[in-house]
Structure 1
Amino acid sequence: MPRQIFQLKMSLAGVRPLVWRRVLVPAGYTLDRLHRVVQHAMGWRDCHLHSFEIDAVQYGEPDPDGELALHDELDVRLDAVLGKGSRFSYTYDFSDWWEHDLVVEDALTVDADERYPVCRDGEQACPPEGIGGSSGYQALLVALGDGGDLADPRHAMLRDWAGSTFDPSRFDPRRTTTLLRRFC
């Protein structure tokens, strides 16, 4: 049987404009590898805890203290729990609570001339780590945009904190594909 590739669309819930990515990943990847794909595709730095929820079952890194009831993501292949049309979620940073909606848009046959994973498309930059969740990110967008009051000290602090190079509309799928292939 030919190997399968899943076309996944991941969207960051609770932010406008929508931050999303479309990636191709081997269906034989474990959830641990998918975690790395989400991190690099979205632009996170993997500084916080995470979990997946698939059919009301939680997966992630096992908690040595037993406080979080998570199934080990290293033991679960995508093709064992997902198929075309599957919807599931990924949560990153349990304090800022970045929830991602994921859907398996298609199940394809491996293209022998292609290297995987691949980022096909997407829009908007990922919010900076530690911004304070979706409400903090919305405040940053106001501070950076036309609605930002240059005299408002909070807006000035947010602009300084994000840095002069942060552009919320910037996203490059080719650069993201390079990162995915290097680190996933």
Structure 2
Amino acid sequence: MPRQIFQLKISLAGVRPPVWRRVLVPGGYTLDRLHRVVQHAMGWRDCHLHSFEIEGRQYGEPDPDGELALRDELDVRLDAVVGKGSRFHYTYDFGDWWEHDLVVEDAFTADPDERYPTCSGGERACPPEDTGGPAGWQALLAVLADAGHPEHARTRDWVGDRFDPDAFDARRAGTLLRRFC
């Protein structure tokens, strides 16, 4: 039976200008593999906890203390819980609370000449880890845009000279996805 591929649009909620990615992912992936896809496509470094919310149910890594009522993401295939047109959420870093809106834009048969997962598009750099959520990201962007701001030099040093908030390389993201997911 041919593999089914889902075209997902991943959008970082609560930020302007928008940060988003379009990825092509096998429907047979488990949610823990989808977690890795989101991490590499967006540019996160997988330093924090995460969870999925699909139709009111929470999925993630089981909490050994039992404080979080999460279903084990290792046991759930993407194609068992979503289909074309489905919308669901992924939250990363329960301190900064980065919410991602995911939409299954399309579902189709895999191209035998294509390697999956891959990234077919996107816009803007992902916020650096520990930025402070959407409000912290907006503040960081304002400081970076104002060379006269008293925190500009320190902030630029923290994010690195090569960090460009408007840059995104879909080809590089696709390479990371194929290598690590």
Report the equivalent of 2:33.
33
- Normalised by the length of structure 2, the TM-score is 0.97
- Structure 1: tracts of 5 or more residues without a match: none
Scaled by the length of structure 1, what TM-score is found? 0.96
Aligned AA (1:155): H
The letter for the 2-side match of 1:15 is: V
Q: Does 1:154 align with 2:151?
A: yes
Match of 2:171 among 170, 174, 178: 174
Q: Name the structure 2 match of 1:119.
A: 119
Per-residue deviation, residues 86-109 of structure 1 (Å, max 9, x unmatched): 000000000000000000000010
**Aligned pairs (5 A) from 1:87-102:** 87-102=87-102
Structure 1: how far apart are the matches of 2:114 and 2:3? 13
Matches within 5 A, 1:1-184: 1-145=1-145, 148=146, 150=148, 152-184=149-181
Pairwise CA distance, 1:149: 5.2
Unaligned 5+ segments in structure 2 are none
Give the distance between the partners of 1:76 and 1:87, measured in 2 at CA: 16
- State the Cα distance separating 1:154 from its structure 2 match: 3.0
Alignment root-mean-square deviation, CA: 1.0
Please say if residues 85 and 103 of structure 1, whose CA atoms lie closer than 8 Å, have aligned partners that are also in contact.
yes
Question: Deviation of residue 34 (structure 1)?
Answer: 0.1
CA contact (8 A) 1:124 1:170 kept: yes
Structure 2 CA distance for aligned equivalents of residues 44 and 164 of structure 1: 18
Q: Secondary structure at the match of 2:131?
A: coil
In 2, distance between residues paired with 1:153 and 1:129? 22
| Aligned equivalents of 1:3, 1:15: Cα separation in 2 | 34
On the 8 A contact 1:143/1:156 being kept in 2, the answer is no
